[in-house]
Amino acid sequence: MRSDVTKQGVERAPHRSLMYALGLTKSEIECPIVGIVNSFNEIIPGHIHLREVAEAVKAGVYTAGGTPLEFNTIGVCDGIAMGHLGMRYSLPSRELIADSVETVIQAHAFDALVFIPNCDKIVPGMLMAAVRLNIPAIFVSGGPMLAGRLPNGRCVDINDVFEAVGKAAKGEMSQAELEALEVAACPGCGSCSGMFTANTMNCLTEALGLGLSGNGTIPAVDSRRIHLAREAGRKVMKLLAADIHPRDIVTRDSLYNAFAVDMALGGSTNSVLHLMALAHEAGIDFSLETINDISKRTPHLAKMRPAGDYHLEDLDIAGGIAAVMKELGDRLNLKVKTVSGKTLGDYIASASVRDSEVIRPASSPHSTTGGLSILFGNLAPQGAVVKSAAVIPDMMKHEGLARVFESEDEATSAIMKGSINPGDVVVIRYEGPKGGPGMPEMLTPTSLISGMGLDREVALITDGRFSGATKGAAIGHVSPEAAERGPIAALREGDKIKIDIVGNRIDVELSDEEIEQRLSRLPEFEPKIKTGYLRRYIESVTSASTGAVFR
């Protein structure tokens, strides 16, 4: 066993002594040691209940003959971090999570791992760690939050609250109405209830083959979540016995499947960032152009919040991710391995769609192409990302004059003052991985635009990124970023920008010569933060087009 380096032989007597201090018995020390990588904390709704999930996992490990030992990772709630300095730490926390998991697991020589994540950067951070370490592993998330309900029965979620700020700013919602909404929108534990980043990544963990059926959709408060956790604990022991590792499961074919399911769900644009980072960890070359190829072959089957009216609980009742994959059929690579011990084809064989409104038939999709699009052009030579599923038809092609802002705060202030006009293209730059730093999400300005009713006429582009809750013609991850002298840094107020989501293009009406001349006149980039972790992050992080991984 891998853990033998800490417990076998005379020279390991001090190590065993310390294990006895933990309360372990001789027989428990001799069993395989399974690391329970928990992200429990008291600051994120998606994590507040994870102690109970961890106890169920440990029970499963025990019954299968293993000794579970739990440790924790950090976590950031993107919703609470939104709109202030905290958001600059959100994406960088992904690297800290991966590195900290690696550190503990290598130091303590675990034999197998069960990961318990549940929010935006925790899921990808743990996925990256699992593939990097390549020790038998399985994922079981904390599950999604239920949708909130107003007294009139209307289902609401956190995105409604963000958009309500724009309505309140326009005088279209009273303070009492806003307060009633904010109290009702998040009724309890779990990851926010729409197809936002956390739920997207938990669903895609199923598609990758690293999570059991229901990992992405069983509500946090449902007893089936505890059943799933126990089964994950038992299953990891089978993975250990069979010597099946994450890199046996995470292959180019399974990444293809994850992107295809992402397209079918119209998932968060952040999934592109995280799956590209996962490909990097696995040593798999996966280009942004390939993502467009997948989109063209994959129908959009489930229109979830924020693009539609359904929440994760509805998707779960309709059959979950297994049913989505069953409907996609041979559009997926069905021979890949999964942690279930079956191939993907066998894994989804018994799945069925129980509500064809929530999960449309492949013959009658919302769109014949996927819910995410990668745009290229002279404004984004290395690509940009948009959740096309959340863009109304009238905005799939748009031309407008640039309204250029050097930060999210500048743009938010202008929107709140009513300075943005129909037809404008709001440009927010120097908010990329280096420029932000940390590539902050732009949910506040996009929600204000939507709340003010401007999302049918105004586009927003940025080298930063968007929350999974963002809707409208919001184009992020523009690469190269402004801090790297990408073309977005050359834009000036009034430049004409052309957006063609159908044609996968984003361009500015400037010649290459003019762009180069403007860029050559710019001063050297001056980092906004010069101390602490974010200073080191600026020095190490790469482009969004490569997943914003470290060099």
Q: Which positions are catalytic?
A: 467
In whole angstroms, how far apart are CA 233 and each of 228, 247, 248, 250, 405?
Answer: 9, 20, 19, 20, 50
Alpha carbon distance 130, 117 (integer Å) = 12
For residue 223, give the amino acid letter: S
Chain centre distance of CA 336 = 23
Question: ∠ CA 507-424-303 to the nearest 5 degrees?
Answer: 80
Alpha carbon distance 250, 205 (integer Å) = 10
Residue in 265, 229, 256, 58 with CA at minimum distance from that of residue 141: 229
Cβ atoms of residues 282 and 131 within 8 Å: yes
Cβ atoms of residues 424 and 458 within 8 Å: yes
Chain centre distance of CA 100 = 19
Cβ atoms of residues 377 and 506 within 8 Å: yes
- Token pair belonging to 407: 């930060």
SS (H, E, C) 187-243: CCCCECCCCCHHHHHHHHHHHHCCECCCCCCCCCCCHHHHHHHHHHHHHHHHHHHHC
Alpha carbon distance 446, 455 (integer Å) = 8
In whole angstroms, how far apart are CA 363 and each of 299, 360, 482?
Answer: 9, 8, 42
Alpha carbon distance 432, 237 (integer Å) = 41
DSSP string, 405-463: ESSHHHHHHHHHTT---TT-EEEE-S-STTTTTS--B-HHHHHHHHHTT-TTT-EEEES
Which ranges in 243-385 belong to alpha helices (H)? 246-249, 252-265, 270-282, 288-297, 312-317, 320-328, 344-347
Categorise residue 73: left if φ over 0, alpha if ψ from -120 to 50, beta otherwise: beta
- Side-chain half-sphere CA neighbours of 288 within 13 A: 26
Residue in 88, 407, 465 with CA at minimum distance from that of residue 274: 465
Alpha carbon distance 347, 213 (integer Å) = 8
